[in-house]
Structure 1
């Protein structure tokens, strides 16, 4: 009985999206893209994509800058329309060792091409270090 309860508890608390880390200095990092546990994440053009990132800050930071790109061919192209001021989506300044939650809603423009790509998201601290850096395959439909 105890084992069954433990498994059920784990299943209900592990709904984060699987991602590839690309050098995060904050830890542990969790990424939750709504309706996507296992990539590629299917994002519908003309709709919002909701994402929440959580981590523990490695150092104090006055700012949080967001960099987002999509790989088109062999080129990382900046993702248009994403607010680069991460402090709009979380509280700044950030103290070292603080648990940070950054949530955002990204409108997937109808004009975007219907493609499969890899998106890269970086949440950079005041020293331009990636508190969070993750790669995630996506499909725009």
Structure 2
């Protein structure tokens, strides 16, 4: 008889501002998961709010949580992977021995604390914004894929990683006039690099940039589309394409579910057709089957030659 793996899976939302104290992270259960472990009191340092964290390469960070396994285990292993542009990648350079972060052995029904320190080295960590998948399991049962203890998507642990010199900035956004903002909650918008920050980004033509968007759709969708346009003339026309209509499911997992937070990075450049004045850029992501269901905002840039 084959025993299926059982997991606990949840989202964690923490915030952008670094702080000296840990902050309890909000969590939502993942769909379709059966748990063999209860997780509570997720804490992340540095962090001061609940939607996401800013971690800087070269600095340390930590995560801790309480867990109550429904199994016994002499040894535990842990693994962290990132979801970058829809592809899972192992997070490099992290300790896999779970017993170095909690007391072993573990016993069914006994609550204990898992504490993990992250060292974010410039040579090992990919700069950008992405989700983290965290797993903790019974080492003896790993090959059979049994008794998986903890599986969580952490919008916190490495949600936003920026090299200090890169000047990654959260930009000021304005919701589009022709889209109902209630349909989509946009938590934050970041441009990397954005040396002038917050009111506008000073960008160069033909240089690569990354737009990072953290949002929660208030709708479910199987098929999505996105596009970016510039309004060089500042007349509301938004007639210069920055990013033509594309499928965002290449950047994140689809379909999307109602009220489940999502995140992605979009790479773009401004070519020579764009003027050198200050003007707004419009970003829109929408349900291909119902365009009234959309996330839409603008932010200001100033283009240099």
**1:60 to partner: Cα distance:** 0.6
Per-residue CA distance 1:16-75 (angstroms, 9 max, x = gap): 212444444211433111133413221111011111121111111111110100112121
**Shift in CA distance, 19/109, structure 1 to aligned 2, threshold 3 Å:** farther
Report the RMSD for the aligned CA atoms in angstroms.
Answer: 1.8
**Structure with greater proportional strand content:** 2
- 2:120 aligned partner: 108
Structure 2: runs of 5 or more not aligned = 1-22, 163-305
Q: 2:137 aligns with which of 91, 109, 124?
A: 124
Structure 1 length-normalised TM: 0.80
- 1:30 aligned partner: 41
**Shift in CA distance, 80/47, structure 1 to aligned 2, threshold 3 Å:** same
Map 1:1-141; keep pairs closer than 5 Å.
15-22=23-30, 23=33, 24-36=35-47, 37-111=49-123, 112-125=125-138, 126-127=140-141, 128-137=146-155, 138-141=159-162
Q: Secondary structure at the match of 2:24?
A: coil
Per-residue CA distance 1:59-116 (angstroms, 9 max, x = gap): 1111111010011212110111111110011111111111121111110112323201
Larger C-alpha radius of gyration, 1 or 2? 2
1:17 touches 1:32 (CA, 8 Å); kept in 2?
yes
Higher relative contact order (CA 8 A, sep 6+): 1
Structure 2 length-normalised TM: 0.39
User: Aligned partners of 1:20, 1:73: CA distance in 2, in Å?
Assistant: 22
**Shift in CA distance, 39/136, structure 1 to aligned 2, threshold 3 Å:** farther
Number of equivalences = 127
